[in-house]
């Protein structure tokens, strides 16, 4: 391999398009403990949308909503519902990354442009990935505004629950297309494949999925990709693809250093988590051995644990955060393991299927 032509420093932010950004911002502040930092909208000179920047640790979420029916955002929302539009990368040189990506076959979403205001300027460009999802490239040397040009400071402090950064972001892609998108991340963005799970690894009586984990050169960006596999009934991936009307981001995993505290607070704030059946805990100790945390807390808060050769991880998944059974969040703490909790998938699938059945989608 030659030099990395598209060196990605980190995820700059994740932008969600939602039906009502003002209310969504309130939800992410009150439920997840984000702080509102900046705002762009009519009052800042935008005519077509309103956007709110929320932060916790190094996690940045942008919530955007259209202000009229006549633009592409509205039809996007009608089709897909609330969800992730853009996983934006912080890079050294947005123009060069964009040029290299296009050269390697990426589809243009937005040509390179300079965005400026009184605080300075930022370079921006964007390419398409799966579904209607984009990857923006953002570079700035000494921009000193609250976020990006056009935003003004609009601080409302939240009560953080200890979320530090985006650990990974999972995409659900069409049946038979996992290799195509894994190839896109490998060939266009220079990612390498870390893990591969077949439908035999991840299946229950009813549904199955296949998964590949793609990772950026510096290891800081991890994008597992799921594709539905044939099961006896409709898989959770198919349910997502139906209700999202195509591929998209399935979940965003947020890392914490104290999952007990985080889940305690999130539950107190009213965040709904996937129900984990009681019998999961009956066999847990045997499956994962000794862990630092108190098993009583783990059971009480319904946290999942998985172990591999390198260590273990603790995780829990929210229910979808909108009415469609699409985007959800994962809270994760790592104790040596660099995995994704695939050992939990079988136990989890059974829990997910109970909820799918309750929605009439199994
Ligand atoms: Fe995950």
pLDDT at 191: 96
Q: Tell me how far the alpha carbon of residue 19 lies from the centroid of ligand 1, in angstroms.
A: 25
115-132: average pLDDT: 97
Q: Tell me how far the alpha carbon of residue 182 lies from the centroid of ligand 1, in angstroms.
A: 17
Q: How confident is the model at residue 200 (pLDDT cuts 50, 70, 90)?
A: low
Residue with tokens 């006896």: 232
Q: Tell me how far the alpha carbon of residue 68 lies from the centroid of ligand 1, in angstroms.
A: 35
Q: What is the mean pLDDT of the chain?
A: 93
Higher local confidence (pLDDT), 202 or 327: 327
Sheet holding 192-197, edge to edge: 192-197, 208-215, 222-229, 163-172, 248-256, 328-335, 311-317, 304-308
SS3 category, 228: strand
Sheet holding 59-66, edge to edge: 108-117, 120-128, 134-139, 83-91, 8-17, 59-66, 49-56, 35-40, 152-156
> In sequence order, what are the beta bridge partners of 225?
171, 212
pTM for this entry: 0.94
Q: Tell me how far the alpha carbon of residue 140 lies from the centroid of ligand 1, in angstroms.
A: 30
Distance CA 236, CA 209 (A): 8
Measure CA 149 to chain center. 24
Q: How confident is the model at residue 272 (pLDDT cuts 50, 70, 90)?
A: very high
pLDDT at 1: 45
Count Cα neighbours of 112 within 13 Å in the Cβ-side half-sphere. 17
> Is the distance from CB of 21 to CB of 64 less than 8 angstroms?
yes
pLDDT at 292: 96
Distance CA 158, CA 106 (A): 38
Q: Could you read off the pLDDT of 230-256 as tens digits, one per residue? A: 776 678 889 999 999 999 999 999 999
């Amino acid at each position: 391999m030659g030099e990395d032509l598209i060196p990605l420093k980190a995820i700059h932010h994740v932008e969600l398009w939602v039906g009502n950004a003002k209310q969504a911002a309130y939800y992410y502040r009150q439920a997840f403990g984000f702080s509102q930092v900046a705002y762009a909208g009519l009052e800042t000179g935008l005519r077509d949308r309103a956007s709110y920047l929320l932060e916790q640790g190094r996690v940045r979420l942008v919530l955007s909503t259209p202000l009229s029916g006549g633009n592409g955002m509205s039809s996007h929302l009608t089709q897909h519902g609330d969800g992730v539009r853009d996983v934006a990368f912080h890079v050294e040189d947005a123009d060069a990354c964009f040029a290299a990506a296009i050269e390697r076959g990426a589809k243009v979403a937005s040509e390179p442009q300079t965005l400026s205001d009184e605080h300075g300027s930022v370079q921006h460009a964007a390419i398409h990935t799966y579904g209607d999802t984009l990857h923006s490239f953002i570079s700035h040397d000494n921009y000193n505004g609250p976020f990006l040009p056009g935003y003004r400071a609009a601080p409302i402090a939240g009560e953080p629950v200890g979320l530090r950064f985006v650990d990974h972001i999972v995409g659900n892609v069409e049946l038979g297309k996992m290799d195509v998108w894994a190839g896109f991340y490998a060939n266009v963005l220079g990612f390498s494949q870390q893990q591969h799970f077949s439908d035999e690894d991840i299946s229950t009586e009813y549904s199955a999925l296949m998964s590949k984990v793609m990772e950026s050169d510096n290891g800081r960006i991890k994008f597992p990709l799921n594709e539905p596999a044939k099961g006896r009934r409709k898989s959770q991936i198919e349910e997502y693809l139906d209700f999202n009307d195509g591929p998209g981001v399935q979940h965003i995993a947020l890392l914490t250093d104290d999952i007990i505290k985080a889940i305690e607070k999130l539950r107190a704030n009213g965040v709904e988590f996937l129900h984990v059946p009681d019998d999961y805990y009956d066999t847990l100790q045997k499956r994962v051995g000794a862990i630092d945390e108190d098993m009583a807390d783990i059971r009480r808060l319904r946290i999942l644990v998985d172990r591999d050769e390198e260590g273990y991880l603790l995780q829990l998944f929210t229910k979808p955060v909108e009415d469609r059974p699409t985007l959800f969040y994962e809270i994760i703490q790592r104790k040596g393991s660099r995995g994704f909790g695939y050992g939990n998938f079988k136990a989890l699938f059974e829990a997910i299927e109970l909820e799918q059945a309750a929605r009439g989608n199994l």
